[in-house]
Structure 1
Amino acid sequence: MMKDLLKKLQKKSNKKGFTLVEIIVVLVILAILAAIAVPSVLGYVNEAKDERYIQEARSIYVVIQTETAKYDALSETVNDSTYGEIATKATEMTGLKAISITDSSATSGDRSQYTVKWTSDDGKQKQAVIKKNKDVKVTNQTKGE
């Protein structure tokens, strides 16, 4: 009888597996790692979105440069209605929607700066100021967007 009890006790002590405490410790460690990693990943996602908006603005600017050069070659005046036509062309060429273009440097006449508004691929309304040196500032981004 005693031998049977000893065998049963030995079987119980030889069980393999994790204790509840070990599992909880692992879960706590994973939670700490997640708390550190998630904000970093979200920061990278937001940076990527910001870069995408800048690239969209630059692609619109390339169309503006191309089309204004065509008008200049034909000795035609580039004005607000012309920018409407250029915006239509930019919509066709970039696939972006609701593009509007304003020559911010119209008073100086040197076409050194444009204000561009568009609907991004993700459906968000964006506005950017693009300078002749291709410096782009997306001005209506909000935090966390």
Structure 2
Amino acid sequence: MNTLVRNANTLNGLPAIFNEIFNEAAHTPNKTAPAANIIEDEASFKIELAIPGFKKEDLKIEVRENTLKVWAEKEENKEEKTETYLRKEFGFEAFSRSFRLPKTVETDAIAANYDHGVLTLSIPKKEEAKPKEPKLISVN
């Protein structure tokens, strides 16, 4: 991990800085699973994913069989010739997250909303999965 403040090495401080910058493994794109909140109530499930920095056009959501998959990729192609970089890590972000859905949900009625970096997926339950009022049975 690189930090902005480096500890001074009194014996060979300058070479240590260059080793830190140039001898690391190749940088890989930021491809992580975003944090999720999963909420259940009587009528539905709700999944909230924290994915700041993306536009809603970047997001892809797919339901295949009983798996809900959310993913996005974005690439920044801004090129400025005014700076000389020793290392450049900006430019590409991606994530992928999958959830196994129970058979008791209406996959055709899933709704998605993206607001202030939080994607909210509303997944309604089928009628037969919702709790029913107790039924009194009379004795004859």
Q: Give the alignment's TM-score, normalised by structure 2.
A: 0.30
Greater relative contact order (CA < 8 Å, ≥ 6 in sequence)? 2
Larger Rg: 1
Considering fraction of residues, name the structure with more helix. Answer: 1
Q: Give the alignment's TM-score, normalised by structure 1.
A: 0.29
